[in-house]
Amino acid sequence: MSTLTAQAPTVRRESGWFSAYVRSHALQIGIVGVALLIWLAFVIGAPKAFLSPQIYTAYMSTTPFFALVALPLTLVVIAGEIDLSFGSIMTFGMLAFSLVYNATHSGPLAVVACLAAGTAAGLINGAVVVRFGIPSLVATLGTQFFWRGLVNVVTGGNGTALTPFNGSVLHEGLVGRVLTDFLPAQMVWTVVVGVVMWVLLNRHRFGAHVYLVGDNVESARLMGVNVGRTKIIVFGLVGLASAFAGLVVSLQLLYYWPTLGDGYLLNTLASVFLGGTSVFGGSGTIFGTFVGAFIIGAINAGIVAVGLAGFWTQLIYGLIIVLSVAMQTYISRKLA
């Protein structure tokens, strides 16, 4: 049988496995470089705080609040979509939790209700995007208001104390300390979610379809990929993770505020984009988002520790994000 192509006309760099590895992982290396630089800057700026373990414990307890959502959100962005409603789904899940808990006084049932409500809200996002063909930016902007509005109507703005859960298995398992006083449980959960998402994205047929749908939706359709189902499931995953993150935050505070989830939007999106996931879809990594989330978390902690406060915070914050993305793009272009 004849071969199909003539000799490759372009001259390519012939290279060993090391430079091949560097080139194919340029984005990840870039983001790690940025993380190290920021960390060094903070260690130099506030050696006392950044050389003591306490700050790392504090940082591992608060970063998971948005990292837990940023990890599955990476899949949505790779699939070429966006979700702005996860903050409202956090509070919607906890509404289900508190309603079921007040009715049954069963913790496990309340947890199931919380996760089911979040998943359902996510699947509805996906269905609206796929069935009605509404751009996800618009659709989830709408559902964001809808879920939060629903929570406000039902709760009348009143919160629920979760003090009965203090010291319970649920509380210890989600926000307690693991093995030592150093490691918060939510950090372990974040790693677990990260590993599951990595396997799903890189080693599962579903993840392969997520990349294809985001890269070239027409090609994916021609090759028999179920585009609609793939998109609905990624939104469902973000819904599930949002409800779980809402549960983690509320148990940490031992109180459910109906305003839960407000203020996570930008941190979460910034984690995904800082992690090198393309706004245009088709490329991105779980590892990048994981590191990106911790860079965002470090900036939050670091600005306070270095002694910058009040009006300076947001200015520095914005500056660091823009510089990080610029640096990361520069590093990965140099390597690629």
Partner 1 sequence: MASVSKTFGEVHSLREVNFEIGQNEIVGLLGDNGAGKSTLVKIITGYHQPDPGGTVYWKGQPITDLDVVKARKLGVQAVYQERALADQQSLWRNIFMGRERTTFLGLLDVNRMQHETRQLMTQLMGFTSTAVTPDTSVKHMSGGERQGVAITRALHFEAELLILDEPTMGLSLSETAKVLDFVGDIKKAGKACLFIDHNIFHVHPVADRIVVLDRGRVAGQFLKGELGLEELVLELRHVAETGSLRSGAPSA
Residues that bind partner 1 (CB under 8 A): 1-10, 12-15, 20, 24, 199, 202-206, 208-209, 211-212, 215-216, 218-225, 282-283
> How many residues are listed for the chain in this entry?
336
Count of beta carbons in the 10 Å neighbourhood of residue 58: 16
Please give the C-alpha separations between residue 262 and each of 81, 85, 86, 88, in angstroms, as whole numbers.
21, 10, 10, 8
Shortest Å distance, C-beta 208 to partner 1: 5
Nearer to partner 1, 78 or 241 (CB): 78
Q: How far is the CB of 289 from partner 1 (least distance, A)?
A: 17
| In 13-82, alpha helices (H) | 17-24, 26-45, 47-50, 53-62, 64-78
C-alpha to C-alpha distance for 199 and 286, rounded to whole angstroms: 10
Torsion sign across C-alpha atoms 19, 20, 23, 25? negative
CB of 284 within 8 A of CB of 77?
Answer: yes
Count of C-beta atoms within a 10 Å radius of residue 195: 13
Minimum gap (Å) between residue 125 Cβ and partner 1? 23
Question: Min. distance of Cβ 330 from partner 1 in angstroms?
Answer: 20
Least distance to partner 1, CB of residue 216, Å? 5
Give the residue with the Cβ less far from partner 1, 22 or 199: 199
Between 3 and 180, CB nearer to partner 1: 3
Residue-wise burial string across 203-238, b where 16 or more C-beta atoms lie within 10 A, e elsewhere? eeeebebbbbbbbebeebeeeebebeebbbbbbbbb
- Minimum Å gap between C-beta 293 and partner 1 is 23
Q: ∠ CA 284-204-79 to the nearest 5 degrees?
A: 40
By beta-carbon proximity to partner 1, the closer residue of 1 and 309 is 1
Question: Smallest distance from the beta carbon of 218 to partner 1, in angstroms?
Answer: 7
Smallest separation, CB 5 to partner 1 (Å) = 4
Tell me whether residue 105 or residue 204 sits nearer to partner 1 (CB atom). 204
Gap between the Cα atoms of 73 and 269, Å rounded: 8
Which of 177, 221 has the CB closer to partner 1? 221
Q: How far is the CB of 159 from partner 1 (least distance, A)?
A: 41
User: Environment class of residue 32 by beta-carbon count within 10 Å: exposed (0-12), middle (13-18) or buried (19+)?
Assistant: middle
DSSP state of 177: E
**What are the tokens at 166?**
């203090």
Measure the CA–CA gap between 20 and 15, rounded to whole angstroms.
7
Decide whether 14 or 51 has the Cβ nearer to partner 1.
Answer: 14
Q: Closer to partner 1 at the Cβ: 106 or 202?
A: 202
Of the pair 222, 309, the CB lying nearest partner 1 is at: 222
